[in-house]
Amino acid sequence: NAGVTQTPKFQVLKTGQSMTLQCAQDMNHNSMYWYRQDPGMGLRLIYYSASEGTTDKGEVPNGYNVSRLNKREFSLRLESAAPSQTSVYFCASTLGVNEQFFGPGTRLTVL
Amino acid sequence: KQEVTQIPAALSVPEGENLVLNCSFTDSAIYNLQWFRQDPGKGLTSLLLIQSSQREQTSGRLNASLDKSSGRSTLYIAASQPGDSATYLCAVENSNYQLIWGAGTKLIIKP
């Protein structure tokens, strides 16, 4: 039981490049989330998926797209990376109105 | 719009002391409040979840309280240890099942 896994752990991009962050959970959770964490700030929700086949925007969705590939996997795509997207990205999952379980994070730098 | 504030941003205390971390929120219409721990370079670990109908939750040396009417929660850590050093974040869950986060309190326990 690996919990929530994220790949890659680190990534450096040049402005304008694209990439996809991968997230998977093996806890049979319905809901999955993508957050970003910037220094001195709380986590901010980018997108979430309440169930397989549905996705909704969170607080800061601009510049991102997501795909809920199946119940296990929820990916986050940056189509044209910008320096403002330099951040640590966390994926999380939950069964319902219960505690969220987090992945180890992806540290992204955009030059 | 819900806002979550954690004061102080950083706290340093000698080992063995009891301490209290504070979290305040502006909108009392919450489903629950959660306290998380974050170690440097790692993901978040859920410590305690208090449902909106509850007043407190306990786990080992940790006790979290919730006062919805005043928009406050506290995390009490008894007999602090160096291993308790981490950043502690609180988050409230709103009616859309989204978490709104505080910026965290960085706790250092001095041996």
Partners of A54 on chain B (C-beta within 8 Å) are none
Say whether A90 and B43 touch across the interface (CB within 8 A). Answer: yes
* Rounded Cα gap, residues B56 and B65, in angstroms: 4
Tokens of A109: 């730098």
- The residues of A whose Cβ lies within 8 A of any Cβ of B are 4, 31, 33, 40-45, 48, 50, 58, 90, 92, 97-105
Residue B1: pLDDT band (50, 70, 90) is confident
| Consecutive 10-residue averages of pLDDT for chain A (111 residues) | 91 97 95 93 92 92 96 97 97 83 95 97
* Rounded Cα gap, residues A66 and A86, in angstroms: 18
| CA–CA min distance B13, chain A (Å) | 21
User: What are the tens digits of pLDDT across the range B56-106?
Assistant: 999 999 999 999 999 999 999 999 999 999 999 999 998 777 889 999 999
Say whether A43 and B46 touch across the interface (CB within 8 A). Answer: no
**DSSP character string of A50-111:** SSTT--EE-S--TTEEEEE-SSSBEEEEESS--GGG-EEEEEEEESSSS--EE---EEEEE-
